[in-house]
Structure 1
Amino acid sequence: MGLRLRLPQKTSPRSPSYLLLCLLALSFFSFTALLFYKVDDFIAQTKTLAGHNLEPTPWHIFPRKSFSEASRRSQAYRILQCSYFSCPYKPVLEPKSLLSDSLSGRKTQQPKCPDVFRWIQRDLEPWGETGVSKEHVEKAKESAAFRVVILSGKLYVDLYYACVQSRMMFTVWGILQLLNKYPGMVPDVDMMFDCMDKPIINRTEPQSFPAPLFRYCTNEAHLDIPFPDWSFWGWSETNLRPWDEEFGDIKQGSKRSSWGSKQPRAYWKGNPDVVSPIRMELMKCNHSRLWGAQIMRQNWAEEAKGGFEQSKLSNQCNHR
């Protein structure tokens, strides 16, 4: 029996296509790791639940929010997914009515703007001749807490300072609902917001260059542009739900007693300790026989301990 020698088989070299796939895979994983690092670094700079990336606003001390490593990671994953992969949005489209009319060649009569909106013309009158330029917006940034930009139906928010409580979050939530309710009908816009109550843009400023700054309050001596109060969409710190939910309960609460059986007094209940001279003067009117008014002090700290049972709006429909 002869010996059989098995020669070693000659191995073929790896094909260039295999090396190319390895190189592409390595590049992809490197890019993913870098992207996640950047998002994670962004999350590390977020100091509050609503989010801000600078020191707290100098006119209101706001405690920083500390995140655990697990919550920070989960936020990073959500931002990564929402920003780069799957978050849908509705593109800006021409409204159907305008589109059909333009195709048919018909001219539509523009509906008359309700009289209540005349205040918009008054509030924007300082910019009626000059318009709002980029320089105007940048000037308003000096006093803004956050910036809202709507571009092609998508909402972008730039955070400068921490707003007190959840004001900023509910304000942005209201704008998101606007975009959802009127898809394709909201034009591109760039707005600066401040979330404190007191207006600061004096009418004594040069009328050719006032800063267009939105806030919740204004008066005759200031040019701050009024924007609906954040509590219209919710105020979680005082157990206040969105207005459409609260309004239903208020109507039911009002039916518990007839109009004639309600107390014939002006009724107010709130917190006067907010550096408001008007509220302090109002407290002096708490005399039912002399002024026909019932003025109540609201202690929100105590209400929170009691589950807000005494501050429900639906339980305060007892006056006329």
Structure 2
Amino acid sequence: MLNIFMVFGLSAFKGLVSTTATLIFFVFLVFAALLNWMDIPMIWETSFGQAIFTSPSARIHHEMIEYPLNCSNVHNLTQKCPDDYPSVFEPEESTTATCPDYFRWIHQDLKQWKSSGITEDAIERGIPSTNFRLVIVNGNAYVEKYRPAFQTRDESTIWGILQLLRLYPGRVPDLDLLFFTGDRTRIMKREYKGKGPNAPSPPPVFHYCGEKAALDIVFPDWTFWGWAEVNIMPWEQMLMAIKKGREKIKWEEREPYAFWKGNPRVAADRVDLLKCNLSDKNDWNVRVYKQDWGKEIGHGFQQSKLEDQCTHRYKIYIEGATWSVSEKYILACDSVTLMVKPRYYDFFSRSLVPMRHFWPIHRKNKCRDLKFAVDSGNGHTREFKPTIPPKAQRVCDETAAFLEKGLWTEFMVQSMVKSPSDKLPCTLPPPYESRAIQVSLNAKEKITKLVETWETE
């Protein structure tokens, strides 16, 4: 098994301004809150063409006092935030484990602001590029919205942060945060490169994905708290359903083909994938299905249940407009993931390694590479105190959960943190050194090229 990550000290980050360090701590808490939820099976290589699947052990739940939603004023416009939730974090367990390697990318994503720091001016300059601003002061969250988000991405993201405040009460520092909820990366490096040492620093904007040419700070996507518009449950419930679904058919007894189902209209690469489908002329060992969401909405989502899509030995991950939320669901299905070479990444995918966690597929030769894979498998300068914007309104679980009705509210209740955590978050690993990052990238590229050689031969 390849071991491409190395441990380095924190000396490179001495002198890091306190606001940037605070931001690191915030992102760390977000990742730590999701850590127990990830529980995604990974492919670990044994010998060529063979794979085994591993999954973290089940969590142990302790008896805790729960604090449900206060719905007393839900039918009028006087819904207020209650004051009975604990304000101090008092875990029962004092020991901590080291966080997974993907936590180390937190340092890299915030390295841009190491010398300049994060100023209020940088925040203000970022407003035109964002959907909303979220300020945390003394453990309370306040939101000011600037432009509409697609569907309820903004509300779900805000809900996730509210759950973080409930999970670690009193531990989340005062913060001033900007969020962009669209698909494409927003803060591009080319707009700030080569403008001299006195040039303004880029605004720190949180987003669901990043890429090599962008400075977006990656943040868990909205679907971890449910995507009501397409009937995808919050992650914890969705994962349980997928686990149950994947146990129905053993891997060896599943359809010996590569499966993909989704909306092809959002990306040229997906349209190209359609050419690999079964036809009168070719059988590339691929079975592709178009997802008609309009039809699904009308028929109660009976043909789009993710827990019913673990029926093939291989599942294809291919990006949409940018990265796709489907990645985690595909990895969770206990099938071999065939990943068409991605351009974008989310908060955990940079630590995925080809032939350990997925089989790499070249963009230009999708059909040939997919057939080969299936055949082979079968055989921030200074600290400033955040101020609440004049137009911002305080948000809490009670004000957020009832903004929408129906399935959205149901998902919010399902994904709500009902009591503080009984244990400390894991320990944040040190940042990568530049050389370690390059070694990691070179190793991934070497493995990918090796697979391409196999395919060519």
1:285 shift after superposition: 3.0
Q: 1:127-159: CA deviations, max 9, x gaps? A: 122121111111111111111111111111111
1:223 shift after superposition: 1.1
Q: What SS is found at the alignment partner of 1:184? A: coil
Q: How does 1:133-148 map to 2 (within 5 A)?
A: 133-148=119-134
Q: 1:261-280: CA deviations, max 9, x gaps? A: 11232222111223x23323
- The answer to whether structure 1 residue 278 and structure 2 residue 279 are counterparts is no
1:182 shift after superposition: 1.0
The answer to whether the 8 A contact 1:194-1:213 is kept is: yes
Q: What CA distance in whole angstroms lies between the structure 2 residues aligned with 1:131 and 1:113?
A: 25
Per the alignment, residue 155 of structure 1 pairs with: 141
Q: What CA distance in whole angstroms lies between the structure 1 residues aligned with 2:273 and 2:162?
A: 36
Q: What CA distance in whole angstroms lies between the structure 2 residues aligned with 1:190 and 1:291?
A: 51
Structure 1 residue corresponding to 2:260, chosen from 249, 264, 268: 268
- The answer to whether structure 1 residue 120 and structure 2 residue 106 are counterparts is yes
1:76 shift after superposition: 2.7
Change (3 A) 1:234 1:110: closer
- The answer to whether structure 1 residue 318 and structure 2 residue 311 are counterparts is yes
The answer to whether the 8 A contact 2:126-2:203 is kept is: yes
The answer to whether the 8 A contact 1:147-1:193 is kept is: yes
Which 10-residue stretch deviates more, 216-225 or 282-291?
282-291
Identical amino acids, percent of aligned pairs: 42
Change (3 A) 1:126 1:154: same
Structure 1 residue corresponding to 2:246, chosen from 233, 238, 254: 254
Change (3 A) 1:277 1:211: farther
Q: What CA distance in whole angstroms lies between the structure 2 residues aligned with 1:202 and 1:113?
A: 29
Per the alignment, residue 201 of structure 2 pairs with: 209
Amino acid across the alignment from 2:124? E
Structure 1 residue corresponding to 2:229, chosen from 210, 233, 237: 237
The answer to whether the 8 A contact 2:254-2:311 is kept is: yes
**Structure index of larger Rg:** 1
Q: How does 1:25-40 map to 2 (within 5 A)?
A: none
- The answer to whether structure 1 residue 306 and structure 2 residue 338 are counterparts is no
1:122 shift after superposition: 1.7
1:286 shift after superposition: 2.7
Change (3 A) 1:314 1:112: closer
The answer to whether the 8 A contact 2:89-2:168 is kept is: no
The answer to whether the 8 A contact 1:95-1:185 is kept is: no
Structure 2 residue corresponding to 1:167, chosen from 153, 156, 180: 153
Q: What CA distance in whole angstroms lies between the structure 2 residues aligned with 1:293 and 1:188?
A: 50
Higher relative contact order (CA 8 A, sep 6+): 2
Per the alignment, residue 451 of structure 2 pairs with: none
Q: 1:223-266: CA deviations, max 9, x gaps? A: 11121111111011101111111111111111111110112322
Structure 1 residue corresponding to 2:290, chosen from 288, 297, 300: 297
Q: What SS is found at the alignment partner of 2:297? A: helix
Per the alignment, residue 224 of structure 1 pairs with: 216
Question: How many residue pairs were aligned?
Answer: 232
Q: What CA distance in whole angstroms lies between the structure 2 residues aligned with 1:219 and 1:193?
A: 17
Q: What CA distance in whole angstroms lies between the structure 2 residues aligned with 1:96 and 1:239?
A: 34
**Residue ranges of structure 1 left out of the alignment (5+ in a row):** 1-72, 101-108
Change (3 A) 1:175 1:161: same
Per the alignment, residue 76 of structure 1 pairs with: 77
**Residue ranges of structure 2 left out of the alignment (5+ in a row):** 1-73, 194-199, 314-457
Q: 1:26-62: CA deviations, max 9, x gaps? A: xxxxxxxxxxxxxxxxxxxxxxxxxxxxxxxxxxxxx
Change (3 A) 1:314 1:111: closer
TM-score of the aligned structures, taking structure 1 as reference length: 0.66
TM-score of the aligned structures, taking structure 2 as reference length: 0.47
Per the alignment, residue 386 of structure 2 pairs with: none
- The answer to whether structure 1 residue 186 and structure 2 residue 172 are counterparts is yes
1:287 shift after superposition: 4.3
Q: What CA distance in whole angstroms lies between the structure 1 residues aligned with 2:265 and 2:226?
A: 22
1:284 shift after superposition: 2.9
Per the alignment, residue 65 of structure 1 pairs with: none
